[in-house]
């Protein structure tokens, strides 16, 4: 979505129907070429955001039509918890309507601007950054480079979960040159990599990594590392690494930012490898309520609570009554019993993730493990239920991105994970065991 001016928010007294499918409501914001409205499906269901573009304006503005096409093409192939979802595209003779997931929390820049010092404590910045990297690593694995990563294009839902948006400047596989690089200079200068500003051929994923480094610096410091109205001077500062950390930024965070803000893209750290970074690995946390943290809620007030399991739930686990065998799970689900506490279980899952290639990201009270390097897999969800104290049932389920074909989950190392968990696992069951 285009960056929206928060001052433009308003309320329409009347709603109107959109092709008999949605009732358009209040104006949420406007950009240079689009307006975004709150809408509700006529048939019922969750509210959505509808981005409305004028066809004549799109076709009459140089470069605008390809940008809209790129945005639609990119968002259609991306299905990830931290990427804003495009539900459908509608059109009339005069208008184009992009029906998208509603992110009620606004954009990250506005949230930072509302904070007293425009920055976040390290533990909160870490959680946000993990979700950002999870989303972009997923995009890169599917051949999509965002190319305009900045706080204005990072939205938040009602629970504080991140949603990367605005893929209008994204690069798809067919945009690559024969050498696999890109050559279009685009994006926002303060967040763009030096090689992009200098109009050199560049790697889109490495350019996104630089932008993430700028965002992480902003989250921790409260201001940009390179901020100059003269783009040439700003590029020179970036190339010479002329930035200073505030004294409160930790040494591990400084090292990570420095590796991301490496002016040499060949040695700049790749997003997919960040799970090995000490500061990044500390993101394995029980707290998934980012919305509360961003509003100043203390970390100690957010505790993990496993839902109690009733008698019906226990009975339904019986091999004689469970119906999961009727469905093809493709080795996507594992359950195990443990006597360990929820805190220790999640900690051990996170530790195992450092070796097996995933990191933990909060997801509405259910922990989500973002997977790296395994095609077709978006994430793994972890749910815990209390049987009889201290016995817990842990369910691990691979969440597969829509449209990624058959056979997902076959390559995931369940036995390696079981080995890494060690004595946390009391009994281990695949979905075929139930």
pLDDT digits (tens, 9 = 90+) for 23-48: 999 998 887 788 999 999 999 889 99
* Alpha carbons 163 and 81: distance in angstroms, whole number: 7
Summarize the confidence of residues 151-157 as an average pLDDT: 93
> Measuring CA to CA, which residue among 150, 5, 163 is closest to residue 75?
163
pLDDT digits (tens, 9 = 90+) for 382-395: 777 766 667 788 88
Question: Angle 204-209-210 (CA atoms, 0-180°, nearest 5)?
Answer: 100
pLDDT of 183 > 60? The answer is yes
Question: Angle 103-107-109 (CA atoms, 0-180°, nearest 5)?
Answer: 170
* Contacts of 432 by beta carbon, 8 Å cutoff, 6+ apart: 325
Summarize the confidence of residues 158-173 as an average pLDDT: 89
- Say whether 51 counts as a known binding-site residue: yes
**Helix and strand totals (H; E) in the chain:** 13, 14
Q: Please give the C-alpha separations between residue 168 and each of 1, 134, 171, 283, 415, in angstroms, as whole numbers.
A: 8, 20, 9, 30, 41
Summarize the confidence of residues 106-127 as an average pLDDT: 87
pLDDT of 2 > 80? The answer is no
* Alpha carbons 195 and 409: distance in angstroms, whole number: 37
* Predicted model pTM: 0.63
CB 10 within 8 A of CB 21: no
How many other CB atoms are found less than 10 A from the CB of residue 361?
26
Tokens (6 digits) for 151? 């706080």
Q: How confident is the model at residue 8 (pLDDT cuts 50, 70, 90)?
A: very low
> Measuring CA to CA, which residue among 116, 187, 113, 174 is closest to residue 147?
187
Catalytic residue IDs: 148
Ordered domains of the chain (ranges, CATH) = 6-101 (3.30.200.20), 108-294 (1.10.510.10), 304-433 (3.30.310.80)
């Amino acid at each position: 979505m285009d960056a929206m001016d928060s001052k433009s928010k308003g309320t329409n007294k009347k709603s109107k129907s959109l092709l008999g499918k949605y009732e358009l409501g209040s104006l949420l914001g406007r950009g240079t070429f689009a307006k975004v409205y709150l809408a509700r499906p006529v048939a019922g269901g969750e509210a959505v955001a509808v981005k409305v573009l004028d066809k004549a304006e799109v076709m009459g503005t140089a470069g605008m039509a390809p940008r809209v096409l790129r945005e639609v093409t990119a968002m259609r192939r991306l299905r990830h918890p931290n990427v804003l979802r495009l539900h459908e595209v509608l059109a009339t003779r005069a208008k184009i309507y992009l029906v998208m997931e509603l992110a009620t929390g606004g954009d990250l820049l506005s949230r930072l601007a509302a904070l007293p010092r425009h920055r976040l404590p390290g533990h909160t910045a870490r959680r946000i950054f993990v979700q950002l990297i999870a989303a972009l690593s997923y995009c890169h694995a599917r051949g999509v480079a965002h190319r305009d990563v900045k706080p204005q294009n990072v939205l938040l839902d009602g629970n504080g979960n991140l949603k990367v948006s605005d893929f209008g400047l994204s690069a798809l596989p067919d945009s690559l040159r024969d050498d696999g690089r890109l050559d279009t200079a685009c994006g926002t200068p303060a967040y763009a990599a030096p090689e992009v500003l200098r109009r050199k051929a560049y790697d889109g994923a490495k350019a996104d990594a630089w932008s993430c480094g700028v965002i992480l610096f902003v989250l921790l410091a409260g201001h940009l590392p390179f901020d100059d109205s003269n783009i040439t001077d700003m590029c020179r500062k970036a190339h010479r690494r002329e930035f200073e950390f505030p004294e409160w930024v930790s040494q591990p965070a400084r090292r990570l930012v420095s590796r991301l803000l490496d002016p040499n893209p060949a040695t700049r750290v790749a997003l997919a490898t960040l799970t090995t970074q000490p500061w990044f690995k500390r993101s394995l946390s029980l707290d998934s309520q980012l919305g509360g943290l961003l509003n100043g809620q203390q970390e100690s007030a957010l505790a993990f609570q496993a839902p109690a399991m009733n008698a019906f739930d226990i009975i339904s686990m019986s091999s004689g009554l469970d119906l999961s065998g009727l469905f093809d799970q493709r080795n996507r689900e594992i359950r195990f019993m443990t006597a360990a506490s929820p805190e220790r279980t999640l900690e051990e899952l996170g530790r195992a993730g450092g070796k097996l290639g995933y990191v933990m990201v909060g997801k509405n009270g259910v922990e989500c493990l973002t997977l790296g390097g395994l095609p077709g897999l978006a994430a793994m969800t972890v749910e815990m239920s209390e049987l009889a104290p201290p016995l817990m049932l842990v369910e691990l389920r691979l969440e597969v991105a829509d449209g990624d074909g058959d056979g997902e989950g076959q390559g995931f190392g369940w036995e390696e994970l079981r080995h890494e968990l060690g004595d946390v696992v009391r009994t281990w069951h695949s979905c075929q065991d139930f």
